[in-house]
Structure 1
């Protein structure tokens, strides 16, 4: 096999991208420097002792091996990532490097491999403080190891594994609190080492590569993340049929960064849920915790709308098993994607991302799998966001997602709540298979109903309203239907407030798009009459009380608009041709100028 030897090679942003057709070998005392670009390597990387590979200014490596890693060498790859917390809060990490070794393959990582940059290419190893130390320090970079934990196939807060300086396998995620103070001794690419709660870490070691196994267990969660020195397409990992032992979602820790305490009872946070099939992120509802780490009261909800599709270098997240077995991180998920909100690649940042996009397709994105991203929509699946105020304390957001390929039952496009089965004081959720979900996905049908549940341990007030229509315009109305009163409450144009007694209410409420019975006395059966005349192939609307009709629409059972007529006035009689329509059941929607609405099913068939 041909080897390419790099001695002193400088690749900067004005030069073309480097593609290495076989191995990449950096000899002892030499280095490769890449700035604001990517390098593609077909086979392994060999970093000889004192040979270094510097990735700077969002540079990344794409490797194309389809099996396990064969990277080798006592030299180091160096890549930066900035944490986003101070010494009181956690970031969730997954290292892109392991220990530099003469043995081929991925190796374990320890926090001793974190460095503090002192120049463009030089760094000093972080100081590892005693186990008793509470606070990390920015300058010189000092890490408190008592906050380094892993979470492997477990369920409860007490299951976190205290790791400190112990080895962490490739593909295993870990938590670590940040540092106190600032470090303005070095500014690179406009970013200080630490401008305050934004510590720059230099990962140094052998680059991870190839298939990385992650063992999962049914109904258990595992902290993993992006294990490579490049971004990954998280959707590709979550939806890969070979990874069917996980549920297709990734959980991201969010927290109140104004809380400056090491006491668990002072924490406020929760997990947001990202679904790989829909690209929809449901933000966390924040809860308070007791001293044992159990959720107690609802705290707040910032509703940070992260874009999560492309996980940047170092990003950690939880996955949930639906079977005992293994899933794999693979090189085919790797992409070159610079970090930033506009690129849908964020390392746990609080920047808000707009649901509106000027261009619905991605630009060219270099990647290992050969995906033409210019043919891939950057928009999430069409969905409706619904917010519920939980007893005036916080907000739970849920999403109705519409995908033609989704079934009415459970599939990977549905996203279970991160708090499913928890003893929460208040909550709202979709009820699917008697479980609690924050996303319910199906093919759109205007007649479909979404069962929603509420639970509360005291008599509570809920306020429910539609928050947004995202990439979706197939219905004009959304209702919360109360089966006990047989009333439909408009939650699109107004907030519906109600109070319910303590308990779990999983069978009383539904979200619908059609109000089959309306409490408005103007529609008392004599105001409007909808008749289908199949002999004459006409839809007839009688309007004996001269209602001012704003719109008449005809829909099929999938919610597709067959026709719509507007500004019809107050005639006593209207007739619309149904000739040529397929035999089926249809929905007729009549809306008056004062926003009253009548919906009626009709049957169209050929007279024989």
Structure 2
């Protein structure tokens, strides 16, 4: 099968057990010496007695550096580095592992396959590149064997993880795979309805502590890229490798994780198979930014693909942390979802970075949230943690099918501030630690009751850059006790006891640096009104 050619066998079609031919299908992984690929084979050992056969990697995997004449890969059984000699490649088999129905979050449960261990049809495996290029370069591999076909099942236990993979020489529909493995299918083992795709985007080392990577996520609400290194200034753009977002169609040879919701079986079948070229909706999740994927973290436009138009409202939020970690969250409006945990529509956080942002649903952490509607009273809690103090940013990455003038706010409970994300990014200082009740996404700047404060309508306070002054407008002649100004670190930089009920006053505060500040008014009755202002050094 050359290029994007694929073999489709539909439901009810047969592959004669006595077939003795071979099928060859190419797929690319990263060439980098230190970077993992998550792979699976579309073929098994060729014989005339059975189909969907188990295999070792030397049985089915070839060096495809010269696509017209693939040759054997040398699997090195000692050492940690692959190598290249002309057009020949060697792979260090130390890095070939699988995770077949093992306890969640148990790193010691990885099973060493090497070049001699057996893999079942439908299982995924890890492998590093031969060193024929860098993290952004491709190494072509050829799979050669008897094509897998029809039903393929793997046993899974509730609460366990399984590294599986597309077992066919064609793309598969992730949504159909999710539905076929849902709790509503009698006799089958239910997964959680979310798929996790590893992307190893940096590190340059074999040391686990130096790996840089994360999991892209896909379910019935859509996909999100893995977290990555970037910058806490979205105007500068990310400093890490552009990421790929998992799409609806899973390419040939792609490995991914599922989580067991109940004990039973994972099912692949011909009803999931489709012809889909790799592109925006079918993304091979290797660490190569040179493919057709057009989404890059940061403000972007939606890739246009009319063949699979998704008309649902989607809001993609970006988080740029003090330590330059970047996470994207997805909110999708779908009639089958709710504000509670919904199977197949809410995607749990699979790995936690040193800094991270996540939806909080029923006390659990999620990167994808589905809801059936967004009302003016809708409140969506966020959780956030950072390993050290500093400035963080929440931004709108992308809006899909969102009406014009749609309001989206961050509510900061600690500062009692609503910030309009449609107007600008929200920058906030935070000490290191975890905060599960500070930040919320809302769609009405009155929903959490801040505007019940009488001062909100009775007073207006702002900073006028032209005259470098705090301006107080007090038409109700409230008696003001004090005015205080804080920087984003929470430090008081200006304070004055005023004891005035004047309807208008100006207070000179000069020599301020450009940035965000908090003004806080206190009345003689003890009421307070915070107000975020922007200072522009003139």
- TM bucket, shorter chain: 0.7 to 0.9
How far 1:307 sits from its partner (Å)? 4.6
Measured after TM superposition, the shift of residue 454 of structure 1 is 1.6
Greater relative contact order (Cα < 8 A, sep 6+): 2
1:245 is matched with 190
Structure 2's unaligned 5+ residue stretches are 231-237, 296-300, 461-474, 477-538
Can you list the C-alpha shifts for 1:251-287, whole angstroms capped at 9, x where unaligned?
A: 1111224x43222233211111112x12x22111248
Match of 1:82 among 25, 28, 32: 28
1:178 and 2:129 correspond: yes
Structure 2 counterpart of 1:495: 425
- C-alpha separation in 2, matches of 1:120 and 1:495: 48
- What are the within-5 Å matches in structure 2 for residues 208-607 of structure 1? 208-240=148-180, 241=182, 242=185, 245-257=190-202, 259-275=203-219, 277-278=220-221, 280-286=222-228, 302=241, 304-341=243-280, 344-348=282-286, 349-350=288-289, 351=291, 352-354=293-295, 355-358=301-304, 360=306, 362=307, 377-379=308-310, 381-411=312-342, 412-419=344-351, 422=352, 424-447=353-376, 448-473=378-403, 476-516=406-446, 517-518=450-451, 524=457
Work out whether residues 225 and 246 of structure 2, in 8 Å CA contact, stay in contact via their aligned partners in 1.
no
Q: Distance in 1 between matches of 2:330 and 2:65?
A: 46
- Aligned length, in residue pairs: 433
CA displacement at 1:520 relative to structure 2: 11
The 1:141/1:287 distance shift into structure 2, 3 A limit, reads same
Q: CA deviation at 1:460?
A: 4.3
- Give unmatched runs, 5+ long, in structure 1: 1-54, 183-193, 289-298, 363-376, 528-543, 546-608
Return the offset for 1:456: 3.3
Q: 1:521 to 1:464 in 2, by over 3 A?
A: farther
* Corresponding residue for residue 6 of structure 2: 60
TM-score, structure 2 as length reference: 0.73
The 2-side partners of 1:88 and 1:119 are apart by: 23
SS at match of 2:138: coil
- Residue 94 of structure 2: SS of its match in structure 1? helix
Q: Return the alpha-carbon distance in structure 1 between the equivalents of residues 381 and 136 of structure 2.
A: 45
Shift of the alpha carbon at 1:159? 1.9
Corresponding residue for 1:15?
none
* Contact 1:388/1:463, CA 8 A, preserved across alignment: yes
Give a deviation string over 1:414-456, Cα, whole Å, max 9, x none: 111112xx5x532211111211001111022222110111223
